[in-house]
Structure 1
Amino acid sequence: EMSLSGDNIPTDVYTNLIDTVHESLPLLHRYMELRKKLLKVDELHMYDLFAPLVEEFKWDIDYVEAKKLVLEALKPLGEDYLKVLENSFETRWIDVYENEGKRSGAFSWGAYGTHPYVMLNHKDNLNSMFTLAHEMGHAMHSYLSDEAQDYRNSQYTIFLAEVASTLNEALLMDYLLKKTDDPKAKMYLLTYYADQFRTTVFRQTMFAEFEKITHERMEAGESLTPQDFSKIYYDLNKLYHGDNMTVDKEIELEWERIPHFYTSFYVYKYATGFSAATSFSKQILDERQPAVDRYLGFLKSGGSDFSINILKKAGVDMSTPEPIKQGMEVFKNLIEQMEDLTK
């Protein structure tokens, strides 16, 4: 209650996420079964999750092509959005390439009264193109919020921060999947997207459940030894990954190296943000203009209301299972496409 109260997030949002993801665990188990089949292994281990399912596949995309594809993919968001985005490409909002002394990674940042600036370390590949789409989602969210709101209400919360960036990635993925005929390229994209669901929705929700269980035990006056933490964490990995995964004993120690556990009840925001973005993308692709209008209203809202209310006005109610279920429909569709390619 204390950790969620700052954003006025009801605890029901937290428990609803865990409960709804539990209902969808058979989909993750199905994906593990498919991975096991594609990797042709007798036993699927946790470390096999890092193994590529498409061998010797390289997708070269230079920065000029990446900008062009991102603009094409984001056309559903309308001319006004694209006009600002195109202008950002032309007027040096972005520090594009690696350079001596430049830090790694990518981010968007800025001050009220100026447009945001984006730092990239572009490497002319598929991942870098998705990073461009992602960071420009942040930049556009900040730009439109700053334009529409006064200084006091311009900043959006962490609960909302990953929605716009992930939405851009979802639209880019949808565009590439529809445009790609090469089976190997398609499988690469499907795996890329399915693993985002696995790591951002399922894994982060598992982390959130780990926190919930351990805090509840503490509040009940029970002891919590390192062995207790390890058993809770191991059992959750078994539950989430299912019978097709050989959950090695060593994974029980992973909780010790997750830095987010030192910021209580934070990790759930990754899963809710991804789910909200997936819900937005599905609505935009299905409904077009009415959903676009609601979404642009979300981008212009900044911090003018509580986060949960801003999303609700835009058509995504995170206090209900619906946005998470919409995301799971997308995940199910990815698995079905992967299964079709392997027949």
Structure 2
Amino acid sequence: MRAMEKKKIALLARTEIPTELTWDLTKIFATDAAFETEVHLITTMAGAMKQYRQTMQKDADALVSVLETLLNLKRRIEKVYVYASLKNDEDTNNKRYQGYFARIQKLTATVYASFAWFEPEVLALPAEKLAHYYESDARLNAYRHFLDQIRLQKKHFLSEKEEGLLAAASDIFAAPENIFGILNNADLKFPTVHNDQGQTVELSHGLFGKLLESTHRAVRKEAFNALYQTYEQFQNTFATALTAHVRTHNFEAQIRNYATAKRAALAPDNLPTAVYDLLIARVNQFLPLLQRYVKLRKQVLKLDEVHMYDLYAPITAVPEKKYSFSTAKKITLEVLAIFGTEYLEIVKRAFSERWIDVCENRGKRDGAYSSGTYDTPPYILLNWQNNLESLYTLVHEMGHSVHSYLSNHRQAYQNSDYSIFVAEIASTTNENLLTQYLLENTTDTGFKAYILNHYLDSFKGTVYRQTQFAEFEDWLHIQDAAQKPLTAKELNEKYLALNQHYYGPSMQKDALIALEWTRIPHFYYNYYVYQYATGFAAASALAAKIRDEGPKDYLRFLSTGNSQYPLEAVKRAGVDMTTVEYLDAAFAIFQRRLAELEGLLRKKS
């Protein structure tokens, strides 16, 4: 490393980011005043919802009227929610938009409380009467799957009064996640560390990932220690927030007569908990492959001992080429051309119409996501770092956005909002195609080894790591349901033991990695993370199918929205996720590419 320099590189303020690299939220509301007008209208509409109570029992026309009015209100509240959320995330220090987001969360609770009577009344309709409605009014056919999903959960809905109370309390139940978000994104202050050039830099969520990819071990270690020592100071607060969040899941599951919170979380998509449990069991059987990869890292990096901060450093030469956003756009278009003209035109619109917020800035929410609703573009938030991981993130999130676009334009509103369970399939299929593209478009064995290592890292982070998270999340809910303590001490001990179980004896027992749970926002999403792993595995099979047979079945899947239950939709695209075959196929690819990398590194040595 170069001698340490005194120059400090600070994050840019939001106002310093070039306009063309920010998203254009005027496509949602041209001005904040227009947003305020819509909020006022929604408030009025919510107040009028009570006039529709007890009307659907009258006849089919009355039911259609209720459905149209209610869904119109939902579309409107979702639109203002997306606007407030995105404005808040672009700079979480902006008090104005903090206020917007807080207001809309409360208004959302009010809106949903205003039609809390709807689902109990749908459930109260006799099956014979509903069948007669379908026969007498063809308009109801468009709502059949929507109504079937509600009636599927009949025994788990409460009385109208109880449903109203729960809906009104939704913003209270969201408090633990909100506390985590503010603490993690706005209040938490990280120290300065040194980058590869020896410069003093302000540590951030986005920069942390980049520094862990450094070829300089001192840089990786310093960043790792600085980040987790910061979280260590607030571990009790994070534990309190996470425990409260888990408790709300168990509370809602219990009062809705579900056996477990896991069962409650998977029920709306008609998913058996066996899908979740099968993943954890199968991944545990293939832990020797992960541990073999850890051993390879130890050997190639010539380490006496391997630490968690060594898991992201390249074990091959780092390509000199950086990935600017401009370069990444070109590659993205080439990779996704396999899907055909329609898909590619949507991608081009995302770039030209400013659906993407590219750069990191002070106060911006960390990470990346795709977010939008039926009446907005499917926006993408990035924190661009000019590296290969940023390219993968762009291709990943573009998969989400095109999936949303196609579902929204092929389905009616009530059937458009696809399940999170299938969402990760669309994004990781794109990642798999990018990996294959990079491997096929190079004659440089060094770069090929680098891409292979990147793939193995991605598999490790998506299949193994997310399943580790899923196992930890399930444990949290089981412990709380059994009324066992969940202080920072218990969480640290469990997480450290689980981490050691996954990575094996070659991994040093770094005490600070016990705190990793403190910084994972997806633990606040309610049995969410396992879907990254199932999605990646399914995407492996689908990517191969697309290359061999074309994208027709896959594009039909992307356009399905919520018009079918997710397992059925994926099966029609060519993957049965109720069996182990798709998981075993994914591990076979991991094993093959691990062996290929081992062979290339042996030749090099």
SS of the residue corresponding to residue 245 of structure 1 reads: coil
- Determine the C-alpha separation between the residues in 1 that align with 2:319 and 2:309: 20
**1:21 touches 1:205 (CA, 8 Å); kept in 2?**
yes
Matched residue, 2:554 = 295
Deviation at 1:98, TM superposition (A): 3.7
Deviation at 1:231, TM superposition (A): 3.8
Mean CA deviation greater in 165-174 or 186-195:
186-195
Matched residue, 1:47 = 309
Matched residue, 2:564 = 305
What per-residue deviation string (whole Å, max 9, x for no partner) do you get for residues 170-215 of structure 1? 1011100111122332222222221111111111111212233444
Aligned-residue sequence identity (percent) comes to 45
- Determine the C-alpha separation between the residues in 2 that align with 1:144 and 1:208: 29
**1:59 touches 1:126 (CA, 8 Å); kept in 2?**
no
Matched residue, 2:288 = 26
- Determine the C-alpha separation between the residues in 2 that align with 1:150 and 1:225: 46
Deviation at 1:62, TM superposition (A): 3.9
**1:17 touches 1:272 (CA, 8 Å); kept in 2?**
yes
Structure 2 CA distance for partners of 1:87 and 1:255, relative to 1, 3 Å: closer
**2:318 touches 2:450 (CA, 8 Å); kept in 1?**
no
The answer to whether 1:139 aligns with 2:398 is: no
Q: Gaps (5+ residues) in structure 1?
A: none
The answer to whether 1:282 aligns with 2:544 is: yes
Matched residue, 2:470 = 208
Structure 2 CA distance for partners of 1:102 and 1:108, relative to 1, 3 Å: farther
Structure 1 counterpart of 2:599, one-letter code: D
- Determine the C-alpha separation between the residues in 2 that align with 1:186 and 1:155: 38
Match of 1:159 among 421, 424, 429: 421
Give the total of aligned pairs.
339
- Of structures 1 and 2, the one scoring higher in RCO (CA 8 A, sep 6+) is 1
What per-residue deviation string (whole Å, max 9, x for no partner) do you get for residues 131-180 of structure 1? 33222212211111111100111111222222212211210111001111
Deviation at 1:222, TM superposition (A): 5.8
The answer to whether 1:197 aligns with 2:459 is: yes
Q: Gaps (5+ residues) in structure 2?
A: 1-262
Matched residue, 1:186 = 448
Deviation at 1:103, TM superposition (A): 3.9
- Determine the C-alpha separation between the residues in 2 that align with 1:38 and 1:311: 39
Deviation at 1:34, TM superposition (A): 0.6
- Determine the C-alpha separation between the residues in 1 that align with 2:544 and 2:318: 32
- Determine the C-alpha separation between the residues in 2 that align with 1:302 and 1:50: 35
Matched residue, 1:173 = 435
- Determine the C-alpha separation between the residues in 1 that align with 2:327 and 2:317: 24
SS of the residue corresponding to residue 269 of structure 2 reads: coil
What per-residue deviation string (whole Å, max 9, x for no partner) do you get for residues 274-298 of structure 1? 222222112223x322xx2221111
The answer to whether 1:237 aligns with 2:504 is: no
- Determine the C-alpha separation between the residues in 2 that align with 1:182 and 1:165: 27
TM-score by length of 1: 0.87
**1:204 touches 1:271 (CA, 8 Å); kept in 2?**
yes
Deviation at 1:301, TM superposition (A): 0.7
Structure 2 CA distance for partners of 1:197 and 1:323, relative to 1, 3 Å: same
TM-score by length of 2: 0.51
- Determine the C-alpha separation between the residues in 2 that align with 1:83 and 1:228: 51
**2:322 touches 2:388 (CA, 8 Å); kept in 1?**
yes
Deviation at 1:13, TM superposition (A): 0.5
Structure 2 CA distance for partners of 1:238 and 1:120, relative to 1, 3 Å: closer
Deviation at 1:113, TM superposition (A): 4.7
SS of the residue corresponding to residue 108 of structure 1 reads: strand
CA RMSD of aligned residues (A): 2.8
What per-residue deviation string (whole Å, max 9, x for no partner) do you get for residues 234-293 of structure 1? 3322221122222234434444554444444222122122222222112223x322xx22
SS of the residue corresponding to residue 311 of structure 2 reads: helix
Structure 2 CA distance for partners of 1:138 and 1:190, relative to 1, 3 Å: same
Deviation at 1:338, TM superposition (A): 1.3
Larger Rg over CA atoms = 2
